[in-house]
Amino acid sequence: MRILRDYILKEFFHAFIMSIVVFTFVLLIGNIIKLADLVINKGVDILSVLQLFLFLVPWLISFTLPIAALTGVILTFGRLSSDGELTAMKASGISLFRVSVPIIMVGLIFGFAAFFINDQVSPNASFATRRIIKDIGIKKPTAYLEEGTFIRGFENYVIFIYEIRGNKLKNIRVYQPQEGKPTRTIIAEAGEINSFPEKNMMELKLFNGTSEEPSPTDPESFYKLNFKTYYMTLDLSKVFKREKIGKKTREMTVLELEREITKFKKDKIDPTPLYVEIYKKINMAIASFVLILIGIPLGIKAHRSEKSIGFGISLLLFAAYWGLFLAGIALSLKGNVEPWVGVSLPNIIFFIFGTILFIITARR
């Protein structure tokens, strides 16, 4: 039995590792492009970008672990079924339950590991990411700027930049709306940005353009001024405030959330969103075990060894699971159901369905 256990676990972990690498890489692709843009086009130091990348991984794993576990078990039992190995085991008096015990135990271990990631690693990584982004914004304001987009937040200015390359800018429009007066406009062919983090200031240096300036005789009207060089000083304090960053709900551990709930109750504030966050952490951890339970009979019924079939089934199943999960969260936040019921909805449904399907499959 030990040889059989090791054989099944080897098959499962081979498929699981391949799956988690594939799914994590797919989710990382879009983020890698954004992070590369910070280094190549916006001049952010590579160490900060690598930190952002590393802090992103725990959050992604909280999603890819359950689907990789599901894919791994479907591929494993699909191959065992298609090659007739399960039939041979049954003929030798080895039940499906005995064959499945090692994988189910792995599902329980994954559950504890996932809870630790969801409760400790991912929230702290997410909080650290926000702190790094804030520091990047102060040191490299160009990382905050996005070409082809109206940028707000710099005092009462609205800035539009057609092209950004490092701290060099091309085709800049600066608008200054004024209540009850015409909007002041500054247009420049090129420009550059210089940051002064110690002063919480940013200097916008514009070249070859026109500026609308208030008329000395009539302040409510403007006259056009052509310039070769024009300086603007922008205050960063309102965009990247230097005070201590507070944790968002998703960045708190269960203990921190429970302390917040106590405060909310004392202040007569509805703590439902905090309860939802706690149950999200718990149920995302349970997901691996539940999906493994339902994946075993589905893999056997699929009776296919092709990896594409296994990936397809797992994606469809996880899409259904995630849809129920989001629906349960929405119902909980609206107060239609208790948070523990709403957030646990997919696990309850999939556990019942998986148990029934497993028993039916084991009896055949």
**Closest Cα partner for 277 from 342, 212, 232?**
342
Residue 327 confidence (pLDDT) above 60 = yes
- Model confidence pLDDT, tens digit, residues 220-251: 677 788 889 998 887 766 555 544 566 778 88
Tell which wins on pLDDT, 168 or 267: 168
**Closest Cα partner for 173 from 131, 198, 129, 210?**
210
| Confidence (pLDDT) at 43 | 61
Domain ranges of the chain: 2-138+247-363, 145-235
Measured CA to CA in angstroms, residue 240 lies from 16, 53, 133, 318 at distances of: 42, 21, 10, 38
Residue 271: φ, ψ to 5°: -95, 15
**Closest Cα partner for 193 from 227, 156, 154?**
154
| Confidence (pLDDT) at 242 | 46
Tell which wins on pLDDT, 3 or 173: 173
- Given a contact cutoff of 8 angstroms between Cβ atoms, the answer to whether 238 and 153 are in contact is yes
Rank 63-72, 173-182, 200-209 by mean pLDDT and report only the highest. 63-72
- Model confidence pLDDT, tens digit, residues 77-104: 888 888 777 778 877 788 888 888 889 9
- Model confidence pLDDT, tens digit, residues 115-171: 999 999 988 888 888 777 766 665 566 556 667 777 766 667 888 888 887 778 888
- Given a contact cutoff of 8 angstroms between Cβ atoms, the answer to whether 132 and 48 are in contact is yes
